[in-house]
């Protein structure tokens, strides 16, 4: 997996970017699609169920494993039962011994790591795609915890084909050992995050977007494996900078303001100093201060308990080389 650092390529294939040659990778044959990592994010749940009903296990050169990540949470239609499954995949948590007091989701994380990983090993699936929904107005996002050419090309491909909604890339930049989410288990991985959709609701338009994203990923994999060269280029990505919490009552910790109507539903619209961000219950406006940044996950339901009203990101341009499959 290649990492990007200030425009340098540090994967041993050498050469500054402007002299980048086509990079070759082994075929991406084993593809895992996971849904229901959060039990109330329905697109992934129904996508996985449909694929299992249709017995979709192989499409051309790609063998597909579909997994319902958190069945107990899915049955209860809750995000999780004891702890957030999608925070359980750090190296430390995956190597901790299981005891009687280990929460259900951590046990599931160990099971998923055994089935689709182990994380960091040769046996791990080649590509893991985890399906999520958000209550925020984010359209279709691909979330990368680290960058590599394979996932960037998949993003570029999907972005070129889907025109009904904005398709964006979010980079969280976390070292592999600290990467806490499910897609870190695969050799390559990313999450689809599609919204807005309320928890527990299945919207046809949102489901169809997720389905299209998955179908295009499979399409790309087939083309890649069969020898197509994918032209490199540049894409814009949003890189996580920081989180902003709600104003809270100092005595009770209860929130004291709502996301301002001018920020609500305006994910990825540049926030400038002086722009309104919160409207208090007594009518005062709180304004953004500091750097110009891009808000995302604006008013995500699950983040109230994580003390986040929205995240802020910088926009960066990522340059990547052409790639094709390594021929034996």
Is 38 annotated to bind ligand?
yes
Q: If binding is defined by CB under 8 A, does position 308 make contact with other proteins?
A: no
Contacts for 204 with CB less than 8 Å, ≥ 6 apart: none
Site string for other proteins, 127-146 (x = CB under 8 A): --------x-----------
Q: How far is the CB of 275 from other proteins (least distance, A)?
A: 15
Cα separation, 184 vs 93, in Å, equals 13
The single residue listed with the structure tokens 């009203």 is 309
Taking CB under 8 A as the binding criterion, the range among 29-37, 44-52, 139-147, 233-241 that sits at the site for other proteins is 44-52
User: What Å distances lie between residue 165 and 81, 95, 139, 323, CA to CA?
Assistant: 33, 40, 6, 27
Q: How far is the CB of 202 from other proteins (least distance, A)?
A: 5
Contact indicator for 74, 133 with CB cutoff of 8 Å: no
C-beta of 125 vs 141, nearer to other proteins: 141
Contact indicator for 257, 246 with CB cutoff of 8 Å: yes
Out of 11, 173, 304, 316, the residue judged to bind other proteins by CB under 8 A: 304
Is 41 annotated to bind ligand?
yes
Element (H, E) at 159: helix 149-161
Cα separation, 133 vs 118, in Å, equals 26
C-alpha triplet 87, 148, 140: angle, nearest 5°: 65
Number of CB atoms found within 10 A of residue 84's CB = 19
Out of 299, 310, 311, 313, the residue judged to bind other proteins by CB under 8 A: 299
Cα separation, 199 vs 16, in Å, equals 45
Contact indicator for 241, 173 with CB cutoff of 8 Å: no
Catalytic residue, chosen from 57, 123, 183, 193, is: 193
Q: If binding is defined by CB under 8 A, does position 258 make contact with other proteins?
A: yes
Q: How far is the CB of 50 from other proteins (least distance, A)?
A: 5
Query: Which residues 190-209 are close enough to bind other proteins by CB under 8 A?
Result: 196-205, 207-208
Out of 57, 281, 291, 307, the residue judged to bind other proteins by CB under 8 A: 281
Is 193 among the catalytic positions?
yes
Annotated binding site for Zn(2+): 38, 41, 132
Q: Which positions touch other proteins (CB under 8 A)? A: 46, 49-50, 77, 135, 196-205, 207-208, 211, 254-255, 258-261, 264, 279, 281, 299, 301-302, 304
């Amino acid at each position: 997996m290649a990492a990007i650092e200030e425009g340098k390529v540090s994967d041993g294939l050498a050469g500054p970017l402007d002299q980048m040659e086509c990079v070759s990778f082994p075929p991406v044959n084993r593809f895992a699609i996971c849904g229901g990592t959060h039990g109330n994010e329905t697109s992934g749940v129904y996508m996985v169920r449909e694929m299992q009903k249709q017995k979709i296990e192989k499409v051309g050169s790609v063998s597909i494993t579909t997994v319902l990540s958190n069945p107990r949470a899915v049955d209860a239609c809750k995000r999780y039962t004891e702890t957030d499954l999608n925070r359980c995949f750090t190296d430390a948590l995956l190597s901790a011994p299981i005891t009687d007091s280990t929460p259900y989701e951590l046990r599931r994380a160990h099971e998923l790591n055994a089935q689709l990983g182990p994380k960091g090993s040769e046996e791990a699936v080649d590509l893991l795609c985890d399906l999520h929904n958000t209550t925020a107005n984010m359209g279709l996002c691909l979330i990368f915890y680290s960058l590599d050419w394979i996932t960037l090309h998949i993003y570029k491909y999907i972005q070129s084909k889907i025109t009904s909604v904005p398709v964006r890339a979010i980079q969280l930049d976390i070292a592999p050992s600290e990467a806490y989410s499910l897609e870190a288990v695969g050799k390559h991985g990313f999450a689809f995050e599609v919204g807005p959709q309320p928890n527990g609701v299945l919207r046809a338009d949102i489901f169809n977007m997720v389905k299209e994203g998955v179908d295009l990923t499979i399409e790309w994999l087939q083309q890649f494996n069969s020898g197509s060269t994918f032209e490199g280029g540049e894409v814009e990505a949003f890189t996580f900078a920081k989180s902003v919490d709600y104003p809270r009552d100092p005595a009770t910790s209860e929130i004291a303001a709502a996301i301002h109507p001018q920020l609500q539903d305006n994910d990825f619209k540049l926030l400038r100093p002086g722009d309104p961000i919160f409207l208090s219950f007594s009518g005062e406006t709180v304004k953004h201060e500091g750097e110009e940044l891009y808000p995302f996950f604006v008013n995500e339901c699950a983040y109230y308990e994580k003390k986040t009203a929205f995240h802020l990101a910088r926009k960066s341009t990522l340059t990547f080389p052409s790639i094709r499959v390594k021929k034996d």
